[in-house]
Structure 1
């Protein structure tokens, strides 16, 4: 068993910028690059293994051919997708469906539960989390009447903040924010409102009917079970455990060993540099620790975010 280092996939976007190059030294396709799909088994942006015995294989191929790497996790597709998102400008006001709705209406796709760790943001930045409608009828009225300033719920955002975004939650990353996102492996997004922006001279597609179908009302803040503790070699912050994933951050200073998990672990280095089992890693490195991999040893001064699928 060996660590699986990933080559990221980049996505351009009307709201994207250059921070994926400026902060992480990635070679990006343009100055409007919005997303780094860092660890992805999704057909719309598949990661390849970089180096080792599986060099050049896609994550999707490994999922089918080497299921023991992933702890024989149940299901026909890689369950999680890890992204870094550079929002130079505001993303659309959007909402995601759950598994049941996506499975019925989106050709069997997974739904999208996701969470955000704020890597950085400009002073005074806000994000959209939730809405102000009291019930489903008011949701529909406010959307159809374009009552956006009354409908949308904004909250201040700061570096180091964490947000859990469940299906049915209206949300939007706003300009000036850099985020690491852990999500179900789904590319289904319903746009509620896009500020009447034009792309190639035309408005981007909205999904008003689907949005009204899936938005939950009234809005409820998602439950998270965050705590921080000092452990040998690191400060450990647990952010959330939900039905689909658990997410943790380790601020490592010195030597730290990560215990083996039943299923595989996604790892993203978000700051600093060091080694893992003697292999150099730095900010922007992403890799997978196979299931039941014993003795994953970090050395150096670095921060990592790890996620594990839940079954």
Structure 2
């Protein structure tokens, strides 16, 4: 089984910047590039296979035509989406629906459970995770009356932090932060508040009713903690296992061998360089290890984040 390397898809955004080019050397479309869709079969940004026997194939087509590459994983669509997000300015305050709500109200779309690994951030940066409303009634009142300072919960953030963002959790990436995001393959976002910003002279669309429908109140913080262990050739950190994905980080120094998940595994090279099974890899590359690929041998000095479906 050969690895499936992917060509990223880039998205411009009002809050985007240039760090996708500055840090990873990507050929971004402009100076307000907010997102790199690094491993995606979503219709709004589908990656092509780069090189090998499936060169030029869309990931979604390969999912349907060669299910054995993905261990015959259930479902009609590739289940995960991996992004790098460069927030030069604050993103909107937002919330995502779960599968049930999205299925009814968003033409059968998946909901959006996601998680963030903080690749880098400026000093004293914060992010928005959760809110301070004591119940659903107070949450609705605060939103409709625009009491944002009372409503929004901010927490400090540092390079290397990890956050699980479940459906119904109010959240926002703040300016000066770059993250790697692993999520369900969904592009459904409800904007609660956007700082009254204008785009092309007009306010961006808000989704107040959908947000009130889907925000969980009161907010309950995710108390799970990463677990780290030392392996031969790598330090391993397990961040999360949830109903949709597991996410792990490996800081490799030397030779490290691993046999991945029974279905398939997404791999993102965050920093450094080296090789995997003799193939050169470097920071900014993303690939899929197909099912039944056997032992993968990494050599070099690099950090990788791996995700697989549950």
Q: TM-score, with normalisation over the residues of structure 2?
A: 0.99
Alignment partner, residue 188 of structure 1: 188
1:197 matched to 2:197? The reply is yes
Q: For 1:225 and 1:248, how far apart are their aligned partners in 2?
A: 12
Alpha carbons 1:224, 1:241 under 8 Å: kept: no
Aligned residues: 310
Q: Return the offset for 1:224.
A: 2.7
1:264 matched to 2:264? The reply is yes
Gap change, CA 1:185 and 1:223, over 3 Å in 2: farther
Tell me the SS of whatever aligns to 2:27: coil
The Cα offsets for residues 181-214 of structure 1, whole Å up to 9 and x where unpaired, read as 0000000000000000000000000000000000
Alpha carbons 1:93, 1:172 under 8 Å: kept: yes
Alpha carbons 1:228, 1:237 under 8 Å: kept: yes
Q: For 1:284 and 1:75, how far apart are their aligned partners in 2?
A: 29
Matches within 5 A, 1:152-301: 152-301=152-301
Q: For 1:224 and 1:305, how far apart are their aligned partners in 2?
A: 18
Alignment partner, residue 31 of structure 2: 31
Tell me the SS of whatever aligns to 1:212: helix
The Cα offsets for residues 52-101 of structure 1, whole Å up to 9 and x where unpaired, read as 00000010000000001111000000100000000000000000000000
**CA RMSD, 1 decimal:** 0.6
Q: For 1:229 and 1:82, how far apart are their aligned partners in 2?
A: 24
Q: For 2:22 and 2:50, how far apart are their aligned partners in 1?
A: 22
Alignment partner, residue 85 of structure 2: 85
Q: For 2:67 and 2:231, how far apart are their aligned partners in 1?
A: 31
Tell me the SS of whatever aligns to 2:212: helix
The Cα offsets for residues 90-124 of structure 1, whole Å up to 9 and x where unpaired, read as 00000000000000000000000000000000000
Alpha carbons 1:269, 1:281 under 8 Å: kept: yes
Tell me the SS of whatever aligns to 1:23: helix
Q: For 1:199 and 1:296, how far apart are their aligned partners in 2?
A: 46
The Cα offsets for residues 106-155 of structure 1, whole Å up to 9 and x where unpaired, read as 00000000000000000000000000000000010000000000000000
Tell me the SS of whatever aligns to 1:178: strand
Alignment partner, residue 127 of structure 1: 127
Alpha carbons 1:11, 1:33 under 8 Å: kept: yes
Q: For 2:234 and 2:275, how far apart are their aligned partners in 1?
A: 14
Gap change, CA 1:154 and 1:225, over 3 Å in 2: closer
Tell me the SS of whatever aligns to 2:24: coil
Tell me the SS of whatever aligns to 1:305: strand
Q: Return the offset for 1:253.
A: 0.4
Q: Return the offset for 1:257.
A: 1.1
Q: What runs of 5+ residues in structure 2 fail to find an aligned partner? A: none
